[in-house]
């Protein structure tokens, strides 16, 4: 068992999500930074789809009832074990925790979300084939709170991976394919200037702040299906890029779809974002 000593502002259980249920109104959910989750699992010898913890900016603190092999990837943050910086003989993100040990993931110095994988995975009960917390619909385990406990599965015995995670930081350039409602706007406005990540962003969507997009058509749309990476433009003209917990339908027009939203998982408020049109 793992006991949560400090849950942090938004720490959730995440795996690779529950795709295939959008027609039932169920978002995909899953880790926002999927490569970081996969890497953390490989570090401890888990399959890629094992459940781990996703923290948000301020980290969390955990007590391990039994000795464990733990990996932390994603955002760059100091990790202490029993009050001292973690000794990492296996590599930069991989370390051992003794029975009764306390792991404290500090505030992220770069990036936003850290991923904490333990050999054996977080063994909460799956819902629709996934252990992911869905912050929009409420499916899956509840977000972590102080004093909560989490079961750990049996390690597979696979050899851990030793390596380094990708670097984080800098201006983001997101590739976007226009449509289906790009004709509702002066689409060139999307590429004419930079945006910044709004502090109001969350797992549902990254809200952007910048020059408002100008409508070329008046009126309203009936609700339409939306997908991961859809760029919806509400009445104020400020784009929203839908992330893992996005709704499955929406009534505001979608100007285009971003091909890879992974960089937004580690983008702090104020990060500069530009769009690049794809064929």
**Residue pLDDT, tens place only, 89-135:** 555 588 999 999 999 999 999 999 999 999 999 999 999 999 999 99
Confidence of residue 165 (pLDDT cuts 50, 70, 90): low
- Structure tokens given for 98: 């003794």
Buried b (16+ CB within 10 A) or exposed e, 195-225: bebbeebebbbbbbbbeebeeeeeeeeeeee
Q: Give the model's pLDDT for residue 135.
A: 96
Give the dihedral of Cα atoms 9, 14, 19, 22; nearest 10 deg. Answer: -30
- Which regions of the chain carry the CATH code 2.40.100.10? 172-277
Q: Tally Cβ neighbours within 10 Å of residue 47.
A: 13
Q: Give the model's pLDDT for residue 162.
A: 62
Selected from 3.30.930.10, 1.10.10.10, 2.40.100.10, 3.40.50.620, the CATH number assigned to the domain covering 172-277 reads: 2.40.100.10
Taking residues 85-89, what's their average pLDDT?
75
Spatial separation of the C-alpha atoms in residues 143 and 121, rounded to whole Å: 17
């Amino acid at each position: 068992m793992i006991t949560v000593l400090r849950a942090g502002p938004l720490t959730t259980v995440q795996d690779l999500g529950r795709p295939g249920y959008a027609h039932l109104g169920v978002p995909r959910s899953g880790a926002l930074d999927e490569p970081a989750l996969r890497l953390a699992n490989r570090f401890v010898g888990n399959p890629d789809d094992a459940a781990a913890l996703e923290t948000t900016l301020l980290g969390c603190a955990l007590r391990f009832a039994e000795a464990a092999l733990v990996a932390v990837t994603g955002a760059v943050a100091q990790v202490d074990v029993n009050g001292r910086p973690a000794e990492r003989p296996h590599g930069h993100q991989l370390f051992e925790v003794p029975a009764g040990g306390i792991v404290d993931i500090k505030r992220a110095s770069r990036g936003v979300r850290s991923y904490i994988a333990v050999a054996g995975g977080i063994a909460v009960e799956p819902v629709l084939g996934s252990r992911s917390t869905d912050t929009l619909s409420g499916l899956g385990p509840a977000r972590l709170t102080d004093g909560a406990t989490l079961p750990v599965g049996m390690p597979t015995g696979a050899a851990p991976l030793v390596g380094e995670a990708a670097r984080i930081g800098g201006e983001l350039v997101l590739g976007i394919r226009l449509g289906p409602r790009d004709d509702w706007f002066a689409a060139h406005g999307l590429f004419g200037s930079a945006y910044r990540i709004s502090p109001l962003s969350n797992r549902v969507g990254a809200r952007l702040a910048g020059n408002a997009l100008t409508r070329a058509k008046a009126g309203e749309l009936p609700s339409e299906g939306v997908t991961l990476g859809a760029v919806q433009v509400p009445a104020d003209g400020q784009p929203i890029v839908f992330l893992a917990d996005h709704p499955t339908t929406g009534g505001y027009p979608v100007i285009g779809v971003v091909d890879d939203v992974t960089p937004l998982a580690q983008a702090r408020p104020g990060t500069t974002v530009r769009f690049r049109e794809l064929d």
